A = this chain, B = another copy of it.
Amino acid sequence: MSNEKLSTQPYKGTRDFYPCDMKLRNWFFGKIRETLELAAFDEYNAPMIESLELYIAKSGEEIAKEQTYNFLDRGGRMLAIRPEMTPSVARMVAAKMGELNYPLKWFSIPNMYRYERPQRGRLREFWQLNVDIFGCDTYEADLDVIQSAINVLRAFGADETMFKVHINNRRFFNDVIAAICGTDTEGSRKVSKIVDRKNKVTREAYVKDMNELGITDEQIAKIDSLYTMDVFEATALCPDSVGSGELVSLFDALKATGLLKYCVFDFGIIRGLDYYTGTVFEVFDEDPENNRAMFGGGRYDNLVGLFAKNAKVSGVGYGMGDVTLENFLVSHKLVPDLYGEDYRVLVTRFDDVPYENYIALVDELRALGVTSTVYIGTKKFGKQIDFAVKDNYTHVAIMGGDELAGGKVKIKNLKTREESEVERAKLGEYFA
């Protein structure tokens, strides 16, 4: 079976999670779950493999094939490893459309794969928090998902100096562009693509692209002024737009609920995908070193329509990758010492004490809720202590023949180096 050439490295763009890495993930996913469940979001999941058709129907054949790991099964089905969760959840809602109890408040933290060049914040395998509300097409649902994003970050101790939710509205965008430029729906869509790329290209290129669409320099100047307006100035330009009304309702509610300090109106937020129809938002890391979108989302009203022609279940939601969240938490120093919070006791052993006595002692400790194990290796006492220190144990329990006979155990605190002799019946008091 031996093969010296077998690599020990994980596949390109993927990560191994050793226990210390996993402890960090479990901590932050745990906090996310807790925060969302407290707000009555329910967790769901779907298979890692879906029919490739699902992604083609949503994003077109080229993007779907380019972006996914896809392959044929032996039954000739064209499959893909999910690159995102939205098509799966739309499929699940469509499958039980008549039975479900709307509005649905759902979330998931699935692993997924995208075929792309690995870079900072972007890997081939990642986990993505998905939060969605289905079956409510008014501002209350938009407010609820935005509040959940804010509360997730606040649960880690983040405040308004560390992140901001940048909010726009696609209906407002289309209407105000039409008002300024006289464009039709398709024209406004083309302008949105240019605005979406604005920060990635030079000013010259931006202006040139606009001019090529027939947008004059004067019109460009009017669009420019929207980037510095607040939401009330901006929507006043286009008071009859349904999008303006949605923005005003949302921002009024953000203000009334004390959430406005975490939010800002940003006319540059487009979200590339065509399926967004109303509110769109991105949550930015305010650290200038790391100033990028961590979450992105918005309202999409027709995804379930992929599955049933006349179906309409409106949705609003967002996705957040684990890699960007981890970067945010680390760069803002929001990760506490994850070891040392809870007791973790290594029961050391001596050869002259029958082994079952150590098992009985760990059983007592575990019954008290104290994480513990007997040292099961063969090293001498001093090395057992070294093992405990290296493995983040907080205490060692020492029980030789004398202690056993006396119903006692020595407990050494590895941080303070203090050693106490404790009656076994009183271990519960020691580890209170």
Contact = CB atoms under 8 A, between A and B. Distances in A.
Contacts of A378: 136, 138
Nearest to A49: B11
Contacts of A305: 1-2
A403 interface: no
Most chain-B Cβ atoms within 10 A of its Cβ — which of A7, A49, A94?
A49
Dominant SS among interface residues on chain A: mixed
A372 B147 CA distance: 14
B38 A371 contact: yes
Interface stretch (A53-61, A237-245, A284-292): A53-61
B40 A371 contact: yes
A210 interface: no
Given A45-B17, A92-B18, A344-B40, A103 B377 contact: yes
Q: How many copies does the complex hold?
A: 2
A309 B47 contact: no
27 contacts: A1-B58, A1-B306, A3-B57, A3-B306, A6-B54, A8-B91, A8-B308, A11-B50, A11-B79, A14-B47, A16-B46, A16-B47, A18-B96, A19-B106, A26-B43, A39-B373, A47-B125, A48-B111, A101-B391, A111-B111, A136-B378, A141-B376, A144-B374, A253-B359, A256-B356, A257-B356, A257-B360
Given A10-B46, A141-B376, 20 more contacts: A1-B57, A1-B302, A1-B305, A4-B309, A6-B54, A8-B308, A12-B75, A17-B46, A19-B106, A22-B43, A39-B362, A71-B71, A74-B115, A102-B377, A103-B377, A138-B378, A144-B373, A256-B354, A257-B356, A257-B359
